[in-house]
Chain A
């Protein structure tokens, strides 16, 4: 299994532990990652609100690199997934724009074949659809039995379904639950698991942003979760790094919910050293998690 790998900006910035855990977990699973070192930011939905065509052009550049390698693209960020899926769909419908973009890409010897499209999959989707949960189950060396894990998806990997291939894969809104169970952990579900973490408005309306995080974290804690797992580093930033500030909006006492990145959860189940997975590099201590392993 070989993929062009787009790590996203955040895994190389504020969430280095995500990148570190992914590049260790992938080989353990036999997944070969060919990193697009020269790839650019997807725009995270922000550049597209400034100018949609620019955002599409930026994404097409990454796609062209993957197409040149003749590989499907893997990402480790719900936000990247949403933006990339959106661009693929839009450029399929807009050959005129695709042609215009290709004129610019041609100057660095790239071309994006919009008609062909590109398979772009978050690590979560790869695990369930390409790798297979049975295989994952068979590779578990450290069953996480006793660890109560709640899912947190991130909006862009769930909505809108019409952009995200739900016609073909209707269960994509249940994959995290399926993975949590496959690694032997105890699943905890709660109402906010598919809602917004609040990150996109952190610098715009901090109170609203932190209230969202606090609501979901409080609910999860009330339902008994030891930790949450997310495929989105932006959600991680709001749920983990901002958690100390979100406490004041919490609806439970003593809010403390560690947040794992998806590759970290997988790595722990594969028996890897938590340190190697950088589980210690979080704002909210993961001791509660490690003590239950």
Chain B
């Protein structure tokens, strides 16, 4: 089929006003070809100056992440037939949230520095056993989901939080962090959770699910972030708004069966943090004016005792995640 690739080019060696432009290439490709096949066809037979990274061609090496029709994708895993518009047009742009070096090649240095920031290596306490660590089979299979990550940067490219704040650790690094928090052989869990609870860490994720949607390896980075949050709260790390927000939410729904929007922001700032609470003052009068002020005394649903029973029955006990006997001392 005929494909019209509209590629966003950037030439750092050109004069600034000509450096960025869209260039269209028309190539004839087999029906089952991928976007990467088409880009390689361009590079090899039409325009040798087109720069892109690629290697494995089978979604394992993570090199060819770019934006295809506005969404982060691995070019090698994207069939042209699934993305070509009616006239065969496919828009290919470099990954987002990272500086462009040339054409589709982006500078991943910020990406790697965040991966490094989560201390991405196993930290067991004491000398290793003579043979392998004994751990339940399920604990290793459970980590396969996050170990499936190939560090392609698709999640980082389209992360909506990173888009407004470059200091956010981002989905890939946080998922990598869970790989250790969830590993029964690691003994730095509490320290990791504390660090990750700092500003720009796990609580800055908006839960927008963009990373889950674009991840080509089904790593579900956001779900790993949610696991970090759950572990942090249960480990008793409560000195931050994120953690307090979750606990307040749970407490209020447990009390009324429904959300109490009046108390939620107040509790989130800390029940006695009057200065923090003041930051919500400006919005209160205008909401009151518009008749949008949530009730001061919330309505309790009539089945509240059933809701309470659910909380009682299902809530996890506080503490750190499972560690095998003799490991770590917690």
Contacts and interface: CB of A to CB of B under 8 A. Distances in A.
A241 B208 contact: no
A104 B309 CA distance: 7
B226 A49 contact: yes
B1 interface: no
Nearest to A104: B313
A47 B249 contact: yes
B306 interface: yes
> Which residue, B220, B249, B260, B314, has most C-beta atoms of chain A within 10 A?
B314
Interface stretch (A130-138, A199-207, A218-226, A266-274): A199-207
Given A40-B258, A205-B199, A45 B207 contact: yes
Nearest to A194: B210
A41 B257 contact: yes
Interface string B230-262: 100100000011100111011001000111111
A50 B306 contact: no
Contact of B207 (A52, A155, A195, A202): A155
Contacts of A49: 207, 226, 229-230, 246
A39 B300 CA distance: 11
Interface in A34-81: 37-41, 43-54, 57-58, 61
A202 B292 CA distance: 17
Given A47-B253, A49-B246, A51-B314, A13 B165 contact: no
Given A160-B212, A204-B245, A212-B164, A108 B306 contact: yes
Contacts of B295: 13
A50 B258 contact: no
Contacts of A200: 206-208
Nearest to A154: B208
A211 B298 CA distance: 31
Contacts, number: 196
Contacts of A82: 209
A28 interface: no
B316 to A, nearest CB: 5
Contact of A196 (B206, B259, B293): B206
B160 to A, nearest CB: 4
Interface string B200-228: 00011111111011000000100000100
Interface residues of A, number: 65
B217 to A, nearest CB: 14
A49 to B, nearest CB: 4
Given A40-B253, A205-B199, A208-B164, A155 B209 contact: yes
> Which residue, A9, A16, A200, A207, has most C-beta atoms of chain B within 10 A?
A9
A206 B277 CA distance: 13
Contact of B307 (A53, A61, A207): A61
A23 B66 CA distance: 45
A108 to B, nearest CB: 5
A215 B165 CA distance: 12
A134 to B, nearest CB: 24
Nearest to A210: B164
A139 interface: no
Given A51-B315, A198-B206, A38 B290 contact: no
Contact of B209 (A57, A101, A159, A199): A159
> Which residue, A107, A156, A196, has most C-beta atoms of chain B within 10 A?
A196
Nearest to B210: A159
Interface string B20-48: 00000000000000000000000000000
Contacts of B123: none
A281 interface: yes
Nearest to B312: A104
A50 B301 contact: no
B38 to A, nearest CB: 23
A161 B213 contact: yes
B310 interface: yes
B246 A16 contact: no
Nearest to B245: A203
Given A49-B230, A203-B241, A281 B204 contact: no
B310 A104 contact: yes
B291 interface: yes
Contacts of A40: 253, 257-258, 301, 303, 307
Nearest to B242: A204
A8 to B, nearest CB: 9
Interface in B258-315: 258-262, 264-265, 268-269, 279, 282-283, 286-287, 289-295, 298-299, 301-303, 306-307, 309-311, 313-315
19 contacts: A13-B259, A17-B292, A46-B249, A49-B207, A50-B247, A51-B230, A51-B314, A53-B316, A61-B303, A61-B307, A107-B309, A159-B212, A198-B206, A215-B164, A241-B287, A241-B290, A245-B283, A278-B291, A283-B286
Given A46-B250, A195-B208, 7 more contacts: A40-B301, A44-B259, A45-B207, A49-B246, A160-B209, A196-B210, A204-B204
